[in-house]
């Protein structure tokens, strides 16, 4: 059975300057696994019954297959990569040339089929709770000295709280962390998230 190609993915591939052959090869492999081709977050995305299974994307030094629930895969080959320590569910398999993709085709299909089984089984990734995130001391000082800020922060949704804690914790230097906190105090006080 041939799957219908998504015209937005055709357009994405026609404009690709880097990784074009790799993207086309990954697309063929994924489509042979009977997934539905969609275009989400500006990338080819493949779904099963409207659930995201895998996404194709490229970076400067590599292109990758991103498994949305990769943390739940067995990873018998030891090839799944967690992009950053804050990525909880997704995992990538990275490539630097088309030969690597062709060599790994059988393994890739096995991972894709396993990801489909994870979705069919209704498995979910257990995300870290907001209270498990460390509050940077620069933000803690602000919360301690401003009860309204503390209340406003606690009233935010857990996702908004996590986004702020992650953003405030990122910089290595205390001065940069403090300036980030300062910049967003008003936003928190009016009940807005980092990206609202």
Q: Count of alpha carbons within 13 Å of 39, Cβ hemisphere only? A: 11
Indicate left, alpha or beta for 107 from its phi (over 0: left) and psi (-120 to 50: alpha).
Answer: alpha
pLDDT per residue over 21-60, tens digit each? 999 999 999 999 999 999 999 999 999 999 999 999 999 9
Pair of tokens at residue 136: 């940077």
Q: How open is the CA angle 24-27-29, to the nearest 5 degrees? A: 115
Q: What is the pTM of this model?
A: 0.68
pLDDT of residue 88: 79
pLDDT of residue 52: 96
pLDDT of residue 170: 86
pLDDT of residue 195: 80
């Amino acid at each position: 059975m041939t799957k219908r190609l998504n015209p937005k993915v055709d357009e994405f591939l026609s404009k690709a300057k880097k990784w074009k052959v790799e993207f086309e090869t990954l697309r063929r492999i994924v489509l042979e696994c009977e997934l539905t081709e969609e275009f989400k977050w500006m990338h080819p995305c493949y779904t099963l019954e409207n659930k995201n299974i895998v996404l194709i994307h490229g970076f400067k030094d590599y292109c990758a297959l991103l498994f949305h629930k990769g943390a739940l895969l067995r990873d018998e080959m030891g090839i799944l990569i967690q992009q950053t320590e804050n990525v909880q569910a997704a995992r990538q398999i990275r490539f630097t040339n088309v030969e690597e993709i062709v060599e790994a085709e059988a393994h890739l299909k096995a991972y894709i089929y396993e990801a489909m089984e994870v979705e069919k089984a209704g498995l979910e990734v257990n995300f870290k709770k907001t209270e498990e995130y460390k509050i940077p001391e620069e933000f803690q000082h602000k919360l301690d000295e401003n009860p309204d800020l503390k209340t406003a922060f606690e009233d935010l949704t857990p996702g908004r709280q996590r986004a702020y804690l992650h953003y405030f914790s990122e910089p290595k230097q205390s001065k940069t962390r403090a300036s980030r906190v300062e910049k967003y105090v008003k936003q928190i006080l009016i009940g807005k998230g980092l990206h609202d």
